[in-house]
Amino acid sequence: MSAVNPTADPVVVVGGGVVGLCTAYYLAAAGLPVEVVERRRIGSGVSRGNAGWVCLSHSTPVPAPGVVRYALRSLGRPDSPLYLRPLPDPAFVRWLWRFWRSSTRAAFRRGYAAIAELNRDTFGLFDGLREAGVDTTLTRPGMVHAFLSPAEARHHLAIQREMADGLYPVPDDITTGAEAHLLDEALSPAVRAAYLVQGRASWTRRRSRVPSVRHWPRLV
Ligand SMILES: Cc1cc2nc3c(=O)[nH]c(=O)nc-3n(C[C@H](O)[C@H](O)[C@H](O)COP(=O)(O)OP(=O)(O)OC[C@H]3O[C@@H](n4cnc5c(N)ncnc54)[C@H](O)[C@@H]3O)c2cc1C
């Protein structure tokens, strides 16, 4: 990076979602003048409507072996966790073909490794934001992974163990039946198996506020 010149024209960040705001924050923290341009309200995009998880154990890429079969089974079920809306368009078929070709074990491992590497400093960075005055509301309750069948739970736990690769603790086995419901009382009665990934999994509550932050960009 070239030397910082605080008298230069401002860096303009387009979009006041979590990505734009973090970019702007760290640019400002580095001493650069920054302006954020937002067409609606700050934090009104997808950053407002997500689940709030900050969670390495949940960072698996979507393209994975078997995912196209899973998606095809969900055709006609828009409430499926992964739903493809079929379009009578050769472009859709081409996309599906390419997606299927990318859903290999090797591509999945590469994708996960890239995400894990990106996430390595995440919790430290959240601590830094808190020290700077941002109320991130970050807590670390762990994450319960819940399944409709023990077989599915074991399959996912095996993937999880392989992916964790020492980065975060993974339980030895799944929990089934009534015991699974002790992990989280909010689980649906349909859940038959679950496991808890402790420690690294974290989440933020929606109600976050930004009081006296040391370095803050200008919002336009
Ligand atoms: C249902 C759901 C659940 C999710 N759950 C999680 C989760 O648990 N954990 C997690 O890490 N991620 C989750 N995500 C993903 C996460 O929310 C996004 O990756 C992240 O919020 C993207 O942030 P962003 O700043 O790129 O986009 P946005 O928050 O959408 O910000 C983009 C901003 O740019 C503005 N903009 C766009 N164009 C212009 C323009 N031309 N001029 C000015 N402003 C413009 C928009 O108005 C918007 O405010 C979830 C996503 C969804 C949809």
Range of the domain at 216: 1-52+209-220
- The number of distinct structural domains making up the chain is 1
In this structure, of 114-123, 163-172, 199-208, the range with the lowest mean pLDDT score is: 199-208
118 Cβ inside 6 Å of ligand 1: no
Angle at 211 between CA 207 and CA 214, to 5 degrees: 135
* Per-residue burial over 173-206, b = 16 or more CB atoms within 10 Å of its CB, e = otherwise: ebbbeeebbebeeeeeeebbbbbbbeebbbbbee
Cα of 45 to ligand 1 centre, how many Å?
A: 5
**pLDDT category of residue 213 using cuts at 50, 70 and 90:** very low
> Which pLDDT band, with edges at 50, 70 and 90, does 28 fall under?
very high
Q: What is the pLDDT of residues 93-122, one digit of tens each?
A: 999 999 999 999 899 888 888 888 888 888
- Domain contains 218: yes
On average, the pLDDT of the chain sits at 83
Residue that the structure tokens 């894990």 belong to: 116
pTM as predicted = 0.77
Does any domain span residue 43?
yes
Query: 37 in a domain, yes or no?
Result: yes
Q: What are the two backbone dihedrals, phi and then psi, of residue 13, each rounded to the nearest 5 degrees?
A: -105, 120
Classify residue 165: in a domain, yes or no: no
> Which residue is closest in CA terms to ligand 1's atom 34?
15
Mean pLDDT in residue range 45-60: 80
**For residue 40, which atom of ligand 1 is closest to its CA?**
47
Cα–Cα distance for residue pair 137/199, rounded to 1 Å: 16
Residue with CA nearest ligand 1 atom 52: 50
Check if 39 has its Cβ closer than 6 Å to any atom of ligand 1. Answer: yes
Tell whether 20 is covered by a domain: yes
